[in-house]
Amino acid sequence: MRIFLLGYMGTGKTYWGKLWAARHGMDFFDLDHEIERNAGMTIREMFEKHGESFFREKEKEALYQFKNKNDFILSTGGGTPCFFDNMQWMNDNGITIYLNTSVQVLAERLTKEKDHRPLIKNLTNEELIPFIENNINKRNKFYIQSGVILNTETIAEDTFEQIMRKYV
C-alpha cells in the first residue's frame, strides 16, 4: 500500500504520517528529506542558488522514485500536488489523503517555524495569514482531488484504521 499525505505546510503531515506508519508497520518517508538527500543540498540552498523551478524538478524526481516502493506513507510538500502531473500520478499510484487545516491554526503553527520554511521566512506575522489564504485558494483545486479528505481538527486515534479498512 502506498499512501501520500497532502496538505499545506504545517498541517501535520509528518506528525500523522510517522504515527500511522509506526502503528501499521509501514515505512515513513518525508519527501523534503528525500529531495535533499538526492540533490546533496538543503531545500533552502536549492531555492537560494537555483530558484523554485529547480526545486520543483527535484521534487518530481524524488516523488516518482516511490513507484518502485510499497507499504509506505509519504509526507509530501505543500506544493507537491500542484506541479507537473504530480496529483494525478499520486492518485494513480496510491491513496492520497488531504489533511485540511484552518488558516488560523496554520498561521499559529507557522509563525513559530518561519526560519525553516523558505516560502515564508521573509514574511511578517501580519503578511502570513493573507499569504496562507492565497496559497490555499490556489492549491485547493489540487488538494480536493485526494481520495480522502480529513479535517485535522477532528482526526481521532482510529481515523487511519477506518481509512485502511476502506482500501484494504
Q: Amino acid identity, residue 91?
A: N
pLDDT in tens, 100-153: 999 999 999 999 888 878 789 889 989 999 999 999 999 999 999 999 999 998
Q: How confident is the model at residue 164 (pLDDT cuts 50, 70, 90)?
A: confident
Task: Report how far residue 104's alpha carbon sits from residue 13's, in angstroms, rounded to the nearest whole number.
Answer: 17
Any long-range contacts for 64-70 (C-beta under 8 Å, 24+ apart)?
64/89, 65/34, 65/38, 66/2, 66/29, 66/93, 67/93, 69/2, 69/27, 70/1, 70/2
Q: How confident is the model at residue 51 (pLDDT cuts 50, 70, 90)?
A: very high
pTM of the model: 0.92
pLDDT in tens, 65-78: 999 999 999 999 99
* Residues facing residue 149 across a β-bridge: 98
Mean pLDDT throughout 79-106?
97
pLDDT in tens, 5-25: 999 999 999 999 999 999 999
Does the structure show a pLDDT above 90 at 82? Answer: yes
Task: Report how far residue 62's alpha carbon sits from residue 29's, in angstroms, rounded to the nearest whole number.
Answer: 11
The answer to whether 9 touches 56, Cβ cutoff 8 Å, is no
Any long-range contacts for 55-59 (C-beta under 8 Å, 24+ apart)?
56/83, 56/84, 59/31, 59/35, 59/83, 59/86
Structure confidence at residue 157 (pLDDT): 74
The answer to whether 129 touches 78, Cβ cutoff 8 Å, is no
* CATH architecture of the domain with residue range 2-161: 3-Layer(aba) Sandwich (3.40)
Q: Which residue has the cell 499569504?
A: 131
Structure confidence at residue 98 (pLDDT): 97
